[in-house]
Structure 1
Amino acid sequence: MRLGGGLLVVLAVGAAGAGYWVLAGVVLAAIAAGVTARLPELGDTQAERWTGGMTRLALVAVQAIVFGAYVVPAQPAYAAAGLVLVVAVADFAGLRLPAALVRWLTIVLIAAAVVLIVLCVVVAPVVTSSPIAAPDVAGVIVAAVVTLPFLLPVASDRVTLRALTLGAIAVLVTIVALVQLGPDRLGLSATSIRDLLYAADAGQLQPLLTVVVALATVPAALTTYTDARERYAPDQGWLAAAGAVVTLAAALFATPYAVLVVAGLGTVLELVLRARRYRDAHARE
């Protein structure tokens, strides 16, 4: 469910730095997610708890920023901070989303992505003159790092299949976005996916996009925040409160790029720690 809100901003950030080569970054992230899908979960060491909590709070801030930018464009920063506050209060009140609701939301978001892909395929793109420059290695790496957190599925018995599915969706959306908009328009702003609908001759679907964004960001923010608090700050009220304040400040003042980089680097460190747990477990056998 994280992927829905993530794609709305990571493609713009990636394209701004890597141009057409943002596709290579998304492919690298998809491969990394598939390869690492079955690594063990983080443990209880201080490094693992801080890394896991920081990464998830950064992802909450990303979802809040996307919500503000797309749903309340007149006051995006205040809307983003408001969402973080609502999520923190809802978590404190014990609100949890039923598993069945999460599954249906996931199906709806996948269907929305498929509709977007089909619209972009059936409508001929406007011819652009943007050349494909030589690959910018740094830009490709940044694109992969900021995309990776949204492709790692929550642990389940079909975690590899989920990782491959999320990766395939991300790659297809990236391709159609680049074909329809080109890297310049795609990387122009954090809300360039709105332009994608107009490019696909579907501007009348903008209200529906707003609904989809809300469905993609609000539940994901709540479940991710709850995950961060329950798994990495259980029975530590002061730490949970501090995390909420930091996340609210990030949603209010930070740029999408900065928060995405924090989430991406945190995810890379998390995978390193998980790989170390895997190595240590097999060394003891």
Structure 2
Amino acid sequence: MRLGGGLLVALAAAAAGAGWWLPAGLVLAAIAAGVTARVPEPGDALVDRVVIAVARLSEVAVYAIAFASYVFPEHRPAAAAAFVVVVTGAGFAGLEIPTIVVRITGGLLLIAGLVLVAVCVAVPPVGTADGLRAPDFAGVLVAAVVFLPFLRARRRENAGWRALLLGVVAVLVAFAALYQLGAVRLGLSATSLRDLLSAADADALQPVLTVVAVVATAGPALAAGTEVRARAGVSGLAGLAVAAAAAYLLPVLPVLVVAGLATVFELLLGVRARRYSGTRE
């Protein structure tokens, strides 16, 4: 589900920097997620708990912005802040979605993504004015960083293969979006998947996309709230307030960058924890 929520807004943000080389950034992110799948969770030191809280709460802010942009675009800031308070607060209070529901929902979102790709590829694009340019390596790297949190698999079993599978899905959706919209139009679109359906003459599916946006953002945000409570305790409530303020005030790109960098630091702390454990043994 996390990838579905990320694709709603990260696709356009990454395309704004990487352009037609967006798929290269997604490939890098998928490889990184697959290679680091066996990295353990960080320890319980203060720095570990702070980094994980920042990573999860910034992801929540991304989901909140995505939810508000697709479901309540006319009231985006207020709806995003309310999403953080209600959904993440429920997760912080201990509400959890059963594992079987998470798996079924994830499968349905995967099917929805493949249907979107099929619809977009089946309809010839009107035409795009922008063409392939020399790669912007900084833009490709930023694209990889912003997508890394949404490609990492939370469950440990077959995590590497699942991360690579999610990467394949993300690359397919990116190709479909670039095919229909072009890099410039995709990068300028705050709700790129809505524009993608319109470009593919599939406006009849817009209500379905609204439902997908709700499902793809609420579930991961709920899980993130639960993890913040487990890691930060009552002090995590201050983090919820910061996440709500970020969702209200900030555009999505800086929030995505914070989420990506926090995930990188989380992986580094996990590597450190494994090395420390191996040294003690």
Q: Structure 1-normalised TM-score?
A: 0.95
Whole-angstrom distance in 2 between the partners of 1:106 and 1:244: 25
- Residue equivalent to 1:102: 102
Q: What are the superposed Cα offsets for residues 8-52 of structure 1, whole Å, 9 maximum, x if unpaired?
A: 111100111121111111111011001111111111121111111
RMSD across aligned positions (CA): 1.3
Whole-angstrom distance in 2 between the partners of 1:117 and 1:257: 24
8 Å CA contact 1:186, 1:193 repeated in 2: no
Per the TM alignment, residue 107 of structure 1 is displaced from its structure 2 partner at its CA by 1.0
8 Å CA contact 2:38, 2:156 repeated in 1: no
Q: What are the superposed Cα offsets for residues 118-164 of structure 1, whole Å, 9 maximum, x if unpaired?
A: 11121122222312111111111111100111000103222112111
- Residue equivalent to 1:252: 248
Question: Does 1:55 find its partner at 2:51?
Answer: no
Whole-angstrom distance in 2 between the partners of 1:214 and 1:60: 13
Per the TM alignment, residue 243 of structure 1 is displaced from its structure 2 partner at its CA by 1.0
- Residue equivalent to 1:240: 236
Whole-angstrom distance in 2 between the partners of 1:129 and 1:37: 40
Query: 1:11 is aligned with what amino acid?
Result: L
Whole-angstrom distance in 2 between the partners of 1:188 and 1:240: 34
8 Å CA contact 2:148, 2:260 repeated in 1: yes
SS state at 1:95 partner: coil
Question: Does 1:262 find its partner at 2:262?
Answer: no
Query: 2:247 is aligned with what amino acid?
Result: A
Per the TM alignment, residue 283 of structure 1 is displaced from its structure 2 partner at its CA by 4.0
- Residue equivalent to 2:21: 21
Q: Compare 164-173 and 54-63 and name the one that shifted more.
A: 164-173
Whole-angstrom distance in 1 between the partners of 2:145 and 2:161: 21
Query: 2:6 is aligned with what amino acid?
Result: G
8 Å CA contact 2:153, 2:163 repeated in 1: yes
Query: 1:281 is aligned with what amino acid?
Result: S
- Residue equivalent to 2:201: 201
Q: Could you tell me the percent identity over the aligned residues?
A: 54
- Residue equivalent to 1:149: 149
User: Cα gap change, 1:24/1:57 in structure 2, threshold over 3 Å: closer, same or farther?
Assistant: same
User: Cα gap change, 1:89/1:48 in structure 2, threshold over 3 Å: closer, same or farther?
Assistant: closer
Query: 2:187 is aligned with what amino acid?
Result: G
Query: 1:274 is aligned with what amino acid?
Result: G
Q: Compare 118-127 and 142-151 and name the one that shifted more.
A: 118-127
* Structure 1 runs not aligned, ≥5 long: none
* Structure 2 runs not aligned, ≥5 long: none
Tell me how many residue pairs correspond in the alignment. 281
Question: Does 1:272 find its partner at 2:274?
Answer: no
Question: Does 1:3 find its partner at 2:9?
Answer: no
Query: 1:143 is aligned with what amino acid?
Result: A
8 Å CA contact 1:52, 1:266 repeated in 2: yes
SS state at 1:74 partner: helix
Whole-angstrom distance in 1 between the partners of 2:18 and 2:90: 38
8 Å CA contact 2:60, 2:88 repeated in 1: no
Whole-angstrom distance in 2 between the partners of 1:172 and 1:280: 39
SS state at 1:37 partner: coil
- Residue equivalent to 2:70: 70
- Residue equivalent to 1:281: 277
- Residue equivalent to 2:190: 190
Per the TM alignment, residue 189 of structure 1 is displaced from its structure 2 partner at its CA by 2.3
SS state at 2:52 partner: helix
Question: Does 1:135 find its partner at 2:131?
Answer: no
> What pairs up with 1:87-98 in 2 under 5 angstroms?
87-98=87-98
- Residue equivalent to 1:171: 171
